[in-house]
Amino acid sequence: MLLAAVAPPAVGTTHDYDIDIDGSIDTVDRTVSTSQGEFTVTQVGRADAGDTVSVSVDAPSDSDYTITILDSEQRFRRTADATGDASREFGTGGLEPGTYAVVAGNQSTEEVYAGEPLVIRAYAVSTQAAESVEQSDDLDVTIELDEVESGESIEAVEVVLADDSENVRVDASAVNDTHYSASVSTDDVDAGDYSLYAVVRGDDQALGENELIGVSDASTVEVVEQSDTSTPDEGS
């Protein structure tokens, strides 16, 4: 699954908070369970080390809370206090490639009201694929990687085809050092519009999975109903 995010220290049950990371891509909603609670992720943010990341939070008007960026060891890497609906900018200088958690919560009680993953990229990722595919046909995808931060090993490259409720994930095969390819089966996919994106995983762990070190933009692919190619019987 795409959102192997970093687990916050503890997670609240309130649904009055919502986080949006500028430049993120939407993903299938996923509830992440940890020994300390659960939270739902709906997107993945992306940035390069040295960039500035803009984070917006929808929150109750009278609520005081802290926006925090946590690393995979649950260390506070960036913090900013906020009240009600708020936007804050965070520099990413000194953050190593990998998956971080952007959370809104109460630092004194360690309660987290909302959380979304942020990927600091080691690789810029792009995809090429047809804009539409017929059900039961494979969607051929080409993935190109451009290293933006050295020293990170690639454990896997994956392609994701997803809508609001389901997703298909396929491992890509290396063509050379910078290009990968994958064929996504649509045998069990309903007709409709889907988001297509690719992710790169490194060899460090977050939530029991290899954490993300690259995420592409999302493009739209239409899965169309299989055409009827049968020939009607001729009358005698």
Q: For residue range 47-83, list pLDDT tens digits in order.
A: 999 999 999 999 999 999 999 999 888 889 999 999 9
Are 40 and 31 in contact by the 8 Å Cβ rule? The answer is yes
Domains and CATH numbers, the chain: 18-120 (2.60.40), 123-224 (2.60.40.10)
Q: Give pTM, 2 decimals.
A: 0.84
Q: For residue range 130-165, list pLDDT tens digits in order.
A: 999 999 999 999 999 999 999 899 999 999 999 888
